């Protein structure tokens, strides 16, 4: 007896799922190939140092205010919440260690990457997308200038380079925020805060791992931002979609990779 045909809704859902999966895999493949082009461009002269410096300024220096303010606020909240929790167990003197480890191992790299993806990543996508829409990228091709080398590579490398630095600044200001609340507002001993922090944090395990995480996140944001801009549709709606996609894709990738890195290397 012939098997009953699957219901139409189930069949169309499966078709849709299959098509989406194929699109997703093809997209990942194209993005990976684009990443390869950026790496090749990095080792091909000229270095474009001036452009790189400008991008470091745009993505790094101009992100300092938002990263600094957010870091201070997160540290103050952590200090407050941590103190209120630890005091129940009489362990408030460990506040420095709790704030420090939480920030260095997890929150610092992740939140910084999310902030930079929202500010500098989206800006990079919008700029490249606008260049696509106004034929500036084609103009470069017509001058026999590789747009990946001229436009995408400096932006992607700048994002990868500034991310660990911004993360470091975020962490330092967060620890200071925790100190401000724990010591200056809640009356914890300043020496106890700092010594618990110093005793708990190991450079090779915690700090180096944190910097490595930030660097990987920076590469991810750089790749996603430049690829989305480069592949955007040449019109205003296309640039808008690409910019939104950069923030969403980067954020999801950061959170997924955070888990993968933590589970693989224990950072």
Partner 1 sequence: MRAAPSATRLQEVGDSLTAGADPSARGGQDGGAAGSAASGAAPAVHVALRDIHLSYGSRVIMDGLSCAFPRGCISVLMGGSGSGKSTTLRLIAGLTRPDAGSVCVAGRELVGIDAEGLREVRQRIGMLFQNGALLDSMTVFDNVALPLREHTASSADQIAAEVHRRLEAVALHDIDDLLPGELSGGMLKRAALARAIILDPDILLCDEPFSGLDPPNVLRIEALLTRMCRDLGLTVIVTSHDVATSRRMADQVTILFRDGAVSGSPRDLVMRRDPRIGAFLGVGADGGADAARVEVG
Residues at the contact surface with partner 1, assessed by CB under 8 A: 127, 131, 134-136, 138-145
Distance CA 23, CA 40 (A): 26
- Min dist CB 153 to partner 1, Å, is 15
For partner 1, the closer CB: 138 or 202 = 138
- Contacts of residue 218, Cβ cutoff 8 Å, sequence gap at least 6: 113, 116, 159, 160, 161, 162, 163, 164
Structure tokens at 117: 């993806």
- Min dist CB 151 to partner 1, Å, is 9
**For residues 59, 65, 66 and 67, what is the CA-based torsion angle, rounded to 10 degrees?**
80
Structure tokens at 226: 């430049």
For partner 1, the closer CB: 18 or 139 = 139
Using only C-alpha atoms, what is the Rg of the chain?
23
- For residue 153, the number of C-alpha atoms closer than 13 Å in the C-beta half-sphere is 22
For partner 1, the closer CB: 41 or 219 = 41
Distance CA 156, CA 226 (A): 7
For partner 1, the closer CB: 212 or 241 = 241
Structure tokens at 100: 């420090």
For partner 1, the closer CB: 138 or 198 = 138
- Min dist CB 10 to partner 1, Å, is 29
- Min dist CB 42 to partner 1, Å, is 18
Q: How many CB atoms lie within 10 A of CB 102?
A: 17
- Min dist CB 147 to partner 1, Å, is 11
- Min dist CB 225 to partner 1, Å, is 16
For partner 1, the closer CB: 128 or 201 = 128
């Amino acid at each position: 007896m012939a098997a009953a045909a699957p219901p139409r809704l189930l069949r169309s859902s499966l078709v849709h799922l299959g098509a989406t999966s194929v699109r997703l895999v093809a997209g990942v493949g194209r993005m990976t190939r684009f990443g390869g082009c950026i790496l090749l461009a990095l080792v091909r002269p000229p270095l474009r140092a001036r452009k790189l410096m400008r991008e470091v300024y745009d993505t790094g220096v101009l992100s300092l205010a938002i990263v600094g303010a957010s870091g201070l606020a997160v540290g103050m909240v952590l200090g407050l919440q941590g103190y209120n929790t630890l005091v129940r167990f009489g362990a408030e003197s460990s506040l420095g260690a709790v704030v420090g480890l939480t920030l260095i191992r997890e929150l610092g790299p992740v939140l910084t990457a999310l902030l930079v993806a929202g500010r500098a990543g989206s800006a990079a996508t919008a700029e490249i997308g606008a260049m696509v829409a106004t034929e500036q990228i084609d103009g470069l091709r017509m001058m026999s200038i590789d747009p990946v080398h001229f436009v995408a590579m400096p932006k992607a490398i700048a994002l990868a380079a500034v991310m660990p630095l911004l993360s470091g600044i975020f962490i330092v200001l967060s620890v200071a925020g925790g100190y401000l609340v724990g010591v200056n507002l809640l009356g914890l001993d300043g020496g106890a805060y700092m010594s618990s922090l110093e005793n708990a944090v190991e450079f090779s395990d915690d700090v180096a791992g944190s910097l490595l995480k930030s660097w990987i996140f920076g590469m991810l944001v750089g790749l996603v931002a430049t690829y989305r801009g480069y592949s955007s549709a040449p019109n205003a709606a296309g640039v808008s979609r690409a910019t939104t996609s950069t923030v969403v894709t980067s954020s999801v990738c950061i959170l997924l990779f955070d888990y993968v890195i933590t589970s693989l290397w224990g950072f």
